[in-house]
Structure 1
Amino acid sequence: MRVEVHTDFCIGSGVCALVAPDVFDQRDDDGVVVLLTERPAAQHQESVHDAATRCPAAVIEIHEAG
């Protein structure tokens, strides 16, 4: 799995950081998502999928094959 985030469209809701804190964080100044690891470990993949599903701005993109 490879994760990509589109920060230009992030609204700073923070759902991703709450659901998958080992993979996502937020910038202190504006709350925009920060991707901590592009290739999360297997134990974090379910929470990454959950974060992508819950993101109100749909800025989290998951590439399963690469």
Structure 2
Amino acid sequence: MRIVANKDVCVGAGQCVLTDPETFDQSEDDGTVIVLVEKPLDVEKAREAVSICPSQALSLKDG
């Protein structure tokens, strides 16, 4: 399982970082999501971050 981020859709709310700071960060330039770990160590935290993203900029894909 891997995390896919659509930076064009991201609004920089930071909910992903608050939920799973080991997997996500935010750009200092515009606040958009940065995926630190493409294949999350804690899949449940990653799923939570994906589900609460207000702009639906995050998704999980097989592989």
TM-score normalised by the chain length of structure 2: 0.94
* Distance (whole Å) between structure 1 residues aligned to residue 54 and residue 40 of structure 2: 21
Other-structure match for 1:62: 60
Residue segments in structure 1 that go unaligned for 5+ positions in a row:
none
Deviation at 1:58, TM superposition (A): 0.2
- Quick check: which one's helix share is greater? 1
Q: Percent identity?
A: 38
Given the alignment of the two structures, is residue 46 of structure 1 paired with residue 27 of structure 2, yes or no? Answer: no
Given the alignment of the two structures, is residue 10 of structure 1 paired with residue 14 of structure 2, yes or no? Answer: no
* Distance (whole Å) between structure 2 residues aligned to residue 29 and residue 6 of structure 1: 16
Coordinate RMSD, CA, aligned: 0.8
TM-score normalised by the chain length of structure 1: 0.90
Total equivalences in the alignment: 63
